[in-house]
Every structure is written in structure tokens, then in C-alpha cells.
């Protein structure tokens, strides 16, 4: 795992190695083991790199790496899990160079020489972000893995007289370049207020984009000199995988499906356990991480190192289940019970960790468990992706219930909405009214309303009359798959393409890399994704039980109490903490002069949210967390009185 950075300046004869190293140093945490810079004489192109040594710890893995022919130069962040197969295939074809080491970077670079960019990306199984410079053709190619596990920002900037094309793993690397303008895109702030994050391809800064997952972007010399930005090209499509799965569904028995899933899990986990450094696993006590640890232990000659976080609040504490799994599997287990003061100490670091406002509160325990693990290992496996692949979230069951109510009420939704608002007091009436409103929405707004951070009424509280009425438009295009003939499968692929990519994977990357820890997600293996797409929905959600087939595999490996416990998720007890330990910080935030002068939020509406939460009328913890995270980030800007993004 590493960090990459680079830039191109039109009309310049040579990039600055010192500036490249400065850009790379800004993301030192992503690669504390080594650093490098490379420039192309006669061309204003430069590449920078920070290395976290996981495979081939020798100097042969140093980057930027020049190909054997000298034509191509690569900076690479990630891991190619099938690099040994690619290595062997190159040798069988007689297209392998004289190998200098055994890193996946060297194999990937040789594959680009032999097969070209698109064919190599299609053959590679892994997580990655990369920049490839072709010296002969003077083309720059940026690429990102299929699900976007690794980040990549890019764009043209001009502050002063010199334009520059900038790219890097994190925004803090781009900010080191003197041409970086840093103009906040207030439309992107609106996206945060709806989704807890700024979804790809947007970033918080105008002119800077996130490369979409499964895409590559090639800029020719003409593009670079003319300051053009061509469209990126997909080499893999989650939508196409979902369509293919629905078109060719699994035809075998349940037992055959269980055996196939078991084999695919073992293969993906075995591949991702390959490393030249100590490794371990996050263990939450849930089905996904517990199954991964069980299959890791089955393939390991010694106890797997496992790590978990606990809370004193019973409704949020999965550490007891994690401990039970660890005891059952005989892992080497380490746990940490988090106190409010520890969480509060992380909050001022959030703007630096994420570079742009990011408001998923599980970022706190994820950072702390990463910090814990990094004291013992350099790489961990995580259980991310299982809920989207196999229908594990409770909202899938709630949506199925909503559909049953819709069929039973036969157009009574407007009446339910009015009845709730008119007859029941306070929060109960608003909840019933909200159900009625969702019943009256068309697909997919009914589902998006179910999962949105803020509904239209909440937006009016936050922003008063300036609030936009439609909180779903920004994700609709990526969520809706009109060619998938199943709303259930559209929900899963839509959540994977939005919530997983823009929220969960961003959270895991930033919190682990902030601690110089590599995290791998075997459930996001492309073969597992293709298999899950073929499964009938009944093998994912059966009755009230999510992850039906996955549970059948897990039942062979885990204690019964893990399979039957209620899903809790990996979150902090915001509701309780905002009424107690975090309350002073919240009140200081919303009562500060800077907060009021900024004018982003409606003061009366914010106060109503606080009052409703403090009085226990509604749990407003997530909305209040978003407000506090945004204000904390805003205070890092040079202009402390930025106008409202809702203007």
C-alpha cells in the first residue's frame, strides 16, 4: 500500500523533484517506508511516491518504477492479488523482462508493456490507483480499481500564471502544488448534507474530480498541452455484472450454491493473505468479519491476530461477540473499549484525515481499531461488502415491508401521511406521516427516502427556505439501473455503487492509511461479486433473514450465537454521547460566532434539532454529527466566512 502524486505543467521543460517529494511527503502516512520522485527531461511531467512495503521489501520494489524497456514509468498504490498468475503468463508467452524483484508493481508494469492498459486492467484482480507515463507516446494514464477501494483525485488547477494538471491519492498532496487554487465547490457541500459524504466523481474543490471506480483516463500530449480533460473510459462495470447475473441466474441447488460460495471465499481470502509482513484481521463479532477470520485461521499455520473495539453502552457493544468468536477460533485477540473522551480527541483530526468533509460517525471506531491494529501488524483483512452483496442491511427488510404495505393499502398513502400529521403528536405523527409519504413516492425515490440522511423536512429545518426539495437527485443516476429487471437487485447494485464506494471504502482507506496500515476486503473480489449477482434474491433475503446463503456457509464455522444475534453495525453511540459527553462540544460549535456568521444553517432549525434530541423526541444524532463535522472542516479554510452552499 502506498501513496501516489504527480503533476504536469504545460510549456515547462522539467518538473521539480523537490516539489514532487513535497507532494508525496504530505501523504507520508500512506507510505512511511520509502519515497521517490521521477521527472521526464524535456517534459513538465513528474511522478512522486510514498511506499508502505507489503510485498518485496527489497529496494527492487522502489517507485516510481521504470519499465525494462525504459518506455513506461509507473507509480502504483494497492495490491494485485493474482500477480503470480500474471507473472507466469508473461513468462509462458515469452514476454517477461529480466525480473529485478518479485513485487506486484514490477509484474503490473511488465503486463502494461506486453498487453496494453485496458487488457491488463481487465486481467488484474486487486485494489489499486495508479499513474502510468508513456515516455515515447507522451501519454498519461490514471486508473482505479473496480470498486474504488483506493482513491485517486485529479484535475486542472491554476493559481497565478502557471496552470497544472494535478493528481494524487489524497487532496493534501495536490494542495502542496503552488497552482492549486482550492476553491470550494458549494454544490459538493450540498451533496455532503444529503449523503454524509461527497460522492464520486465530485470533490469538495472546484476543478478536482475523483476518478470513477473501474475507469481509466488517458491524456495525450495534445490534451496536456491544450489543458483539456477527456472523459474516462470504463474497463469494468458493476451494472454490466448485475445485468449478466440476472440474465444468467444460478441454476443449482442450495447445497451446490453453499459449496460454491465456500470455495470462492476460501480462494479470495487465501489470495489476500499473501504478504511479506505480519497480518491480521478486524473482528467486529458480526457474520462477515467472523467468517473471514474463520477461513483465515483455516489457512494459517499460527493463530490469526484479531482486533476489535467495544463500548460500555450495551446496544453498541459487539466486543463481547468478537471475543466469543476469537475464543472459539483460538485467535490472538486484542480489544479496546472506547470512552467518549477518546472519540472526542479524534474529531479535530477529521479534516486532516479526509481532506474534505465526511460525516459517517463510524469513522471514529474505524480509526481507533486501525490505530490499535497498526501497533501489531502492517496489514489486515476486513469484512466490507458483505451486506451489499448478500442483502445484510436491515433497510432491505424494511423496504420489503414497505412494499407489502403499499400493496395492502392500494393508494392510501396520501391519507396516511395526512392522518399521521393531524392525529398523532410529535415524533410519532411525523414517523407515520413519513411512511405515508414514502408509500406515495415512485421507484426509486421510495427506497432513497428510506435511506437518506436528511429528508425534505429535515432539509427545511437545516436551511429554512433555502432548502432544495429533492434530496435524491445527486445519486439517482448512479443508483438506478434501468436495464436490471429487478428492483431488489437494483437496490443491491445501487447501494454498492454509491454507499459502499463513496462512504464505506473511503472511511476504511483513510482511517487505515492514517495509521500506515493496509486493509484488504476479500468480499469485494470480482469473482465473488459475479457469483452474488447470479444468486436469486431468495438466497440473499429469505423472509426476515438477510444474507441467507452466506449464513449457511458461516454456520459451518461459527458459534450459533453469532448467527442469531441482532445486527448492530459499527457505530458510536451518538444519541447518548450528544446528550452527555459530547453535548458541550456540540453547543460550543453551534453557538460560536464563526458558525453563525457563516450562515450555512438556519439557526432556529438547528436549535430545534438540538432540542428534539436532548428531550428524547427524536434521535437527531447523525444530523447533528454532520453539522459538527462540516463546521470543523470549514474552520480549516482560509476564508472563515464562506457563504452558504445553499445560495
Does residue 64 have a cis bond before it (omega within 30 degrees)? Answer: yes
Identify any residues that bridge with 156 across adjacent strands, giving them in sequence order.
Answer: 165
Could you give phi then psi for residue 167, rounded to 5 degrees? Answer: -155, 155
| Contact of 218 with 140, CB cutoff 8 Å | yes
| Contact of 129 with 78, CB cutoff 8 Å | yes
Query: Within 10 Å of residue 141's Cβ, how many Cβ atoms?
Result: 20
Q: In sequence order, which ranges of 347-455 are alpha helices (DSSP H)?
A: 350-354, 363-374, 386-390, 394-409, 413-423, 426-439, 445-451
CA distances for 230 relative to 215, 222, 449, angstroms: 12, 11, 34
Degrees to nearest 5, angle at CA 347 with 342 and 352:
125
- β 2-8/163-168 pair status: antiparallel
| Contact of 321 with 560, CB cutoff 8 Å | no
| Contact of 188 with 203, CB cutoff 8 Å | yes
| Contact of 293 with 547, CB cutoff 8 Å | no
Give catalytic status of residue 190 as yes or no: no
| Contact of 129 with 4, CB cutoff 8 Å | yes
Using only the alpha carbons of the chain, give its radius of gyration. Answer: 25
Residue of 1, 2, 198, 505 with catalytic role = 2
CA distance 269 to 267: 6
**Residue in 264, 261, 282, 281 with CA at minimum distance from that of residue 273:** 281
Q: What secondary structure does DSSP assign to 27-55, as a single string?
A: TGGG-BTEEEEEE-TTBSEEEEEEE---S
Task: Give catalytic residue positions.
Answer: 2
Amino acid at each position: 500500500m502506498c501513496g501516489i502524486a504527480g503533476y504536469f505543467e504545460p510549456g515547462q521543460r522539467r518538473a521539480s523533484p523537490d516539489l514532487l517529494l513535497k507532494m508525496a511527503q504530505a501523504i507520508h502516512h500512506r507510505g512511511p517506508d520509502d519515497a521517490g520522485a521521477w521527472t521526464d527531461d524535456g517534459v513538465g511531467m513528474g511522478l512522486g511516491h510514498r511506499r508502505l512495503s507489503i510485498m518485496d521489501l527489497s529496494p527492487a520494489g522502489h517507485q516510481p518504477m521504470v519499465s525494462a524497456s525504459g518506455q513506461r514509468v509507473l507509480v502504483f498504490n494497492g495490491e494485485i492479488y493474482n500477480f503470480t498468475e500474471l507473472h507466469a503468463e508473461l513468462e509462458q508467452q515469452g514476454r517477461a523482462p529480466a525480473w529485478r524483484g518479485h513485487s506486484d508493481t514490477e509484474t503490473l508494469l511488465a503486463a502494461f508493456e506486453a498487453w496494453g492498459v485496458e487488457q491488463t486492467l481487465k486481467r488484474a484482480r486487486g485494489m489499486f490507483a495508479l499513474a502510468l507515463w508513456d515516455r515515447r507516446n507522451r501519454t498519461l494514464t490514471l486508473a482505479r480499481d473496480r470498486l474504488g477501494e483506493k482513491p485517486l483525485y485529479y484535475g486542472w488547477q491554476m493559481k497565478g500564471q502557471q496552470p497544472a494538471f494535478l493528481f494524487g491519492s489524497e487532496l493534501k498532496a495536490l494542495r502542496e502544488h503552488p497552482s492549486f487554487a482550492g476553491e470550494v465547490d458549494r454544490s459538493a457541500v450540498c451533496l455532503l448534507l444529503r449523503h454524509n459524504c461527497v460522492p464520486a466523481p465530485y470533490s469538495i474543490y472546484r476543478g478536482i474530480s475523483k476518478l470513477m471506480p473501474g475507469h481509466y483516463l488517458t491524456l495525450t500530449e495534445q490534451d496536456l498541452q491544450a489543458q483539456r480533460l477527456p472523459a474516462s473510459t470504463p474497463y469494468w462495470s458493476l451494472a454490466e455484472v448485475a445485468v449478466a447475473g440476472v440474465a444468467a441466474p444460478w441454476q443449482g441447488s442450495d447445497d451446490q450454491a453453499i459449496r460454491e460460495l465456500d470455495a470462492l471465499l476460501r480462494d479470495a481470502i487465501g489470495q489476500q493473505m499473501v504478504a511479506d509482513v505480519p497480518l491480521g484481521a478486524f473482528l467486529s463479532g458480526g457474520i462477515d468479519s467472523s467468517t473471514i477470520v474463520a477461513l483465515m485461521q483455516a489457512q494459517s499455520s499460527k493463530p490469526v491476530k484479531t482486533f476489535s473495539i467495544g463500548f460500555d453502552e450495551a446496544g453498541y457493544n459487539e466486543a463481547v461477540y468478537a471475543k466469543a468468536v476469537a475464543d472459539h477460533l483460538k485467535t490472538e485477540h486484542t480489544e479496546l473499549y472506547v470512552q467518549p473522551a477518546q472519540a472526542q480527541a479524534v474529531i479535530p483530526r477529521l479534516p486532516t484525515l479526509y481532506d474534505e468533509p465526511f460525516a459517517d460517525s463510524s469513522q471514529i471506531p474505524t480509526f481507533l481499531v486501525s490505530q490499535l491494529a497498526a501497533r501489531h501488524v502492517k496489514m489486515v483483512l476486513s469484512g466490507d461488502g458483505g451486506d451489499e452483496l448478500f442483502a445484510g442491511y436491515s433497510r432491505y427488510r424494511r423496504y420489503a415491508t414497505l412494499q407489502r404495505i403499499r400493496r395492502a393499502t392500494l393508494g392510501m398513502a396520501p391519507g396516511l401521511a395526512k392522518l399521521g400529521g393531524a392525529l398523532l403528536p410529535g415524533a410519532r405523527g411525523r414517523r407515520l406521516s413519513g411512511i405515508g409519504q414514502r408509500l406515495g413516492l415512485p421507484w426509486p425515490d421510495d427506497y432513497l427516502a428510506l435511506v437518506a440522511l436528511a429528508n425534505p423536512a429535515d432539509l427545511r429545518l437545516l436551511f429554512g427556505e433555502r432548502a432544495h426539495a429533492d434530496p435524491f437527485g445527486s445519486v439517482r443516476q448512479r443508483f438506478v439501473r434501468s436495464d436490471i429487471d429487478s428492483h431488489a437487485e437494483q437496490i443491491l447494485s445501487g447501494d454498492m455503487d454509491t454507499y459502499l464506494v463513496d462512504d464505506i471504502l473511503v472511511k476504511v482507506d483513510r482511517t487505515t492509511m492514517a495509521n500506515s496500515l493496509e486493509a484488504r476486503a476479500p468480499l469485494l473480489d470480482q469473482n465473488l461479486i459475479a457469483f452474488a449477482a447470479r444468486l436469486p434474491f431468495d438466497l440473499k433475503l429469505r423472509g426476515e433473514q438477510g444474507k441467507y446463503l452466506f449464513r449457511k456457509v458461516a454456520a459451518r464455522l461459527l458459534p450459533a450465537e453469532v448467527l442469531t444475534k441482532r445486527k448492530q453495525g459499527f457505530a458510536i453511540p451518538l444519541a447518548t454521547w450528544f446528550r452527555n459527553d459530547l453535548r458541550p462540544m456540540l453547543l460550543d460549535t453551534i453557538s460560536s460566532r464563526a458558525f453563525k456568521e457563516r450562515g450555512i444553517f438556519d439557526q432556529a432549525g438547528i436549535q430545534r434539532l438540538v432540542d428534539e434530541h436532548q428531550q428524547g423526541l427524536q434521535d437527531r444524532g447523525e444530523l447533528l454529527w454532520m453539522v459538527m463535522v462540516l463546521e470543523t472542516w470549514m474552520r480549516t479554510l482560509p476564508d472563515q466566512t464562506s457563504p452558504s452552499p445553499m445560495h
